[in-house]
Structure 1
């Protein structure tokens, strides 16, 4: 691969001196800052764990989709910062499989199987999975409270409109920002 170095005054030219490689400087700066750009995230474990589970082929895509939803939920909640990514991925898959009933094994057997796949402790995995399920319940509860209930509509020919109803096509009073 050929690298290019350029300055504002000159057009790009191939770099021949290794000291001039911009990427080398970037790597040096990132190393000094101790930034890890190749960090492993929970999503990286999904395919690996699902491959080791014996799920029916038709259920794997749905379990993966639900587990990805759990991962997105975990990414927005600070309480999951203490768990390693593998634990969050494993707990998300466990919650998805149990929630969908995609596996014939019991909940405890599934937790033990998942803990064996990732080399985690069963109790820690169970606690993580319970927190994921609790976060989902809380999120659904909050969503139910913030969404407005549909108001009963008057018949089209009705001329008795109360002061709370608007005449605009979209009821702007029902929008909550």
Structure 2
């Protein structure tokens, strides 16, 4: 998919971003135009969010775009009655379009959803500091309970 795009761009590699793929994917999807608009907005938001995290730098732009589109469709609950827009069908379809393993695409989509969840949690914590303290205490309690070594390595001073 990337080779096709760079050939169209006459090998101007600086121009290839995940945003370049979203419209192409939407044009191939059997979705009503009003649904395409909202999927486009959500996918663009996910792509912008991915640009802030170093985990996505190793993924090709087409994979980030496809993962963002799948995450948008799943998050918006736009699955059609015929099943042509179901999560699994869409992930499989887009993995064929970008020529990648469907499991890799699902993993990318799950990373995008995890990034969104952590970003929303951070935003919530910045708006409500008291709730943030309570969440941190819960996480610390869980960390203490998770130690399974005889000597907790966090207690060792080197």
User: Normalization by structure 2: what TM-score?
Assistant: 0.68
- Separation in 2, partners of 1:118, 1:58: 25
In structure 2, stretches of 5+ residues that fail to align are: 1-11, 130-158
1:1-177 matched pairs, under 5 angstroms: 38-104=14-80, 105=83, 106-148=86-128
Determine which structure has more spread, i.e. the larger CA radius of gyration: 1
Contact 1:43 1:68 in 2 (8 A): yes
Shift of 1:59: 0.5
- Separation in 1, partners of 2:79, 2:47: 20
Q: In terms of mean alpha carbon deviation, does 121-130 or 96-105 score higher?
A: 96-105
Q: Which has the higher contact order (CA 8 A, sep 6+)?
A: 2
Contact 2:95 2:102 in 1 (8 A): yes
Paired positions, count: 115
In structure 1, stretches of 5+ residues that fail to align are: 1-35, 150-177
Runs of 4+ in 1 over 4 A off after TM superposition: none
Q: CA RMSD for the aligned pairs?
A: 1.7
Contact 1:49 1:90 in 2 (8 A): yes
